[in-house]
Structure 1
């Protein structure tokens, strides 16, 4: 799927090595985008946590960052308590509005930005999860080779948690 027209990541995606966007339509939850991301992180399927643990073990041997897990949130911290620059699970919050939260993670091999965008229509809302990756070197290319197919499983599975 293409990046939604109203996403702040549209411009950032120009010249990217990789980008994608997945979406799910749910009953309207009256939550801001950052709340939705937090809900997704808290409900992350266990197989994704397992894969993140393996990822962290492997890449730490290559000198890359251990990101932790999606669920590594500050207990009891609500969306309105997070400010740009704060860590939210495995990402750093860049910006947050009611309708879109932008996160990033950077390392020597690549930069990743993620958007959670909500598009409200009546009693339904569509949640878009968009990822954009810019690589810096051959290590970035090598890293993305196994990550892309796994990413295409992880994001839809994460969004599916919102429909329960």
Structure 2
């Protein structure tokens, strides 16, 4: 898999339990945070139900409830701030790296832009059997969700953030 030049991963590629990177050419350049805001402003149909199910099942195994994406806008976010349940690890015009970590797995979502090319790269390290089990349904679902988000961006179905 060819990764974007500036993509950041949660761990070295050989240590990952999951890696997916998808990209789309947009009609005009955007900044990484702007792309995140546009996508999160109008979540895909069914995402609220998916997060509710995730929380209902995962909470039984000691995983914190995350509730999903709020669509709330954080003004001038910095490293160390949160965008919903994600911690901002890196932010500049070209790269937005977000992490979520718990005893079962560590996740990084990295939004990168280079000119009009936008990519979303997700990487995961699992720590135990529950983390591995969790990724069985999440891995294919995540690929479809990112594909759908990028498709909506390409078609211009989402307003600019």
Do both proteins adopt the same fold according to a TM-score greater than 0.5, normalized to the shorter chain?
yes
In structure 2, do the counterparts of structure 1 residues 73 and 85 end up closer, same or farther at CA, with 3 Å as the change threshold? farther
In structure 2, do the counterparts of structure 1 residues 10 and 143 end up closer, same or farther at CA, with 3 Å as the change threshold? closer
Query: What RMSD in Å do the two structures reach over aligned CA positions?
Result: 1.8
In structure 2, do the counterparts of structure 1 residues 51 and 14 end up closer, same or farther at CA, with 3 Å as the change threshold? same
In the alignment, what sits opposite 2:72?
A: 74
In structure 2, do the counterparts of structure 1 residues 15 and 160 end up closer, same or farther at CA, with 3 Å as the change threshold? same
Q: Secondary structure at the match of 1:61?
A: helix
**Pairing of 1:6-155 with structure 2 (within 5 A):** 6-9=6-9, 12-29=12-29, 31-70=30-69, 72-75=70-73, 77-78=74-75, 81-120=76-115, 125-155=116-146
Q: How far has the Cα of 1:6 moved from its partner?
A: 2.8
In structure 2, do the counterparts of structure 1 residues 11 and 111 end up closer, same or farther at CA, with 3 Å as the change threshold? closer
In the alignment, what sits opposite 2:148?
A: 157
Structure 1 runs, 4 residues or longer, greater than 6 Å off = none
Which stretches in structure 1 are left out of the alignment for 5+ residues? Answer: none
Q: Secondary structure at the match of 1:39?
A: helix
Q: How far has the Cα of 1:47 moved from its partner?
A: 1.4
In structure 2, do the counterparts of structure 1 residues 90 and 159 end up closer, same or farther at CA, with 3 Å as the change threshold? farther
Normalising by structure 1, we get a TM-score of 0.86
Which stretches in structure 2 are left out of the alignment for 5+ residues? Answer: 157-161
Counterpart CA distance in 2 for 1:88 and 1:73 is 9
